[in-house]
Amino acid sequence: MKSLGWASFRIGAKTEFNDYRSSAVYGKGIQSGILSSGKLFIGSYGEEQVNSSDERVINSLLKD
C-alpha cells in the first residue's frame, strides 16, 4: 500500500549564488523525512522500502 503523505526537509541545499532564497528553491541536497506510515526515508521520498544502508543510519541514530 502506498503512503498517502509525508513530511520532509533537504540537508545541504546549496546553489552557485550562495543565497538562501536561491538555495531554498533551486538547491540540491539530500532529501530526508518521514512517511505517514511512520517510516523514515533518506535520499528519495515516497518509497516504503528501507534499504540496508538506511537501516544502519537509523539504528546508529537510535543508539545516541
Residue 47 bridge partners (DSSP): none
Q: What is the pLDDT of residues 1-41, one digit of tens each?
A: 565 787 888 888 888 888 889 888 888 888 888 888 788 88
How would residue 45 be classed by pLDDT, with cut points 50, 70 and 90? Answer: low
Q: What is the pLDDT of residue 3?
A: 52
pTM: predicted TM-score of the whole model, two decimal places: 0.50
Residue owning grid cell 538547491: 27
Cell numbers that stand for 43 in this block = 535520499
**Residues 41 and 58: beta-carbon distance below 8 Å:** no
Q: Are strands 40-42 and 28-35 parallel, antiparallel or unpaired?
A: antiparallel
Q: What is the pLDDT of residue 32?
A: 85
DSSP string, 2-57: --S-EEEEEEEEE-TT--HHHHHHH-EEEEEEEETTS-EEESSSS-----HHHHHH
Listed by start position, the domains of the chain span 8-63
